[in-house]
Amino acid sequence: MSFVMVFRVALKALGRNKMRTALTMLGLIIGIAAVITLDAMGTGAQQQIEDQIKSAGTNMIAVRAGNFRRGGISHGMGSSPRLKAADVDAIREQVAGAQYLTASVNTRDQVVGGGENWSTRIEGTDVELPLIRLWDVEYGTFFTTTDVNASAKVAVLGSVVRDNLFGEGTDPVGQTLRIRNQSFKVIGVMMAKGSGSFGEDQDDTIFAPYTTVQRKLRGRDGTNISGITISAYSADDIETVATEVASVLRVQHKLIQGEDDDFMVRTQEDMSSMRTEMTQTMTLFMLAIAVVALIVGGIGIMNIMLVSVTERTREIGLRMAVGAKGQDVLWQFLVEAIVLCFVGGLIGVGLAFGLAQGLTEFLEWPTSMSTDAITVSVGFAAAIGVVFGFYPAWKAAQLDPIESLRFE
């Protein structure tokens, strides 16, 4: 019997009981759709993470204050007071691959301006921040080195802060705002940038000279800082620059060999890896559940095929009596199982496209359909047809023609 004939017979047999065929495929359809949709969600989330990391700046290296111990008590990461403004100058002089550097001192406070008030993050920084983070000014200008040296009370607003204090889209340059008991002059507004590397809203920030934040808002002496942000000349230099920065800081902080760092150095790759690892773990967990659903669907197909063999015992006996070989019968039932799974796989792919589009449109969850995931899923569906359809097909091929014709 030719393969074309076997295929036609298989389609005809499946079409005899359309409802049962549809219900048999349902488990597989759900499994395939779940696998592809979950993969699309995971891929989309990873791409969003990468985009957020890139939006924070190019070739970026972040240095943060580390752990501080006193009297045997650990005060936790970020508590060390040993990161100084002088460290920025040392890195600038000694690390050739560092293109731009800026000190940072952060706080959070209630801000009053334009007749409104808003709780936001105040980021004390330096003049090279827009160069590091590739961030343009929408209105006005960024502050200057003179402002930093003079601890000037000037502020550059993120777009979210501007919208909530002075009105959406307005130009507030020249206006004043109050942070605690200090009056600041608004000299600029940054372009909208969106979420940062850890999901924070970068636009919900006020930028001021780090010396101003130290002395006027946090009451420090102007030397202690929270962190340093560095931009390397090229992506190939990032790891080298990070290593050199760590070496310079150890010397600056007089740390002896074997003593733990009192600072943290993180590259964009490190920041991306931390978030993508969490996303991948959750995606793999959900994919494992979806694969179980696929296997359950395959078992359902095998069960229905066994029932079909029992129901069509006389038909099998008649075919073999008129000359069909056991191999022909085996191929007939195996092709039925493969067609069942392949068609179910295609429907599952279509359902996955719809689910992914719905997640993006209505829930604003980023999704990205992977060609590899679709190919593997459809191939896996066909493989399930072969694996779970072989035993019923083999059992049908082993039937004795005479006993089959006697079957009631």
Amino acid 73: pLDDT: 46
Query: To which H or E segment does residue 69 belong?
Result: strand 69-70
Q: Where are the beta strands (DSSP E) in 350-396?
A: none
Pairing of strands 98-113, 176-179: antiparallel
Unique residue bearing structure tokens 């696929």: 294
Tokens describing residue 292: 């179980």
CA distance 245 to 228: 10
Cβ–Cβ < 8 Å for 193, 66: no
CA distance 245 to 91: 6
Amino acid 403: pLDDT: 59
DSSP state of 126: -
Tokens describing residue 114: 């334009």
Rounded alpha-carbon distances, angstroms, from residue 135 to 28, 204, 303, 341, 346: 48, 14, 61, 52, 45
Amino acid 337: pLDDT: 78
What averages of pLDDT result for each successive group of 10 residues across the chain (408 residues)? Answer: 63 73 79 82 72 64 72 51 86 92 91 93 94 91 95 95 93 93 94 70 92 84 79 84 91 85 78 58 70 74 73 68 71 76 84 87 78 77 74 69 55
From 29, 79, 44, select the one nearest 352 (Cα to Cα).
29
Unique residue bearing structure tokens 């985009």: 51
Amino acid 170: pLDDT: 93
Cα of first residue to Cα of last residue in the chain, in angstroms, is: 27
Amino acid 258: pLDDT: 78
CA distance 203 to 121: 10
DSSP state of 214: I
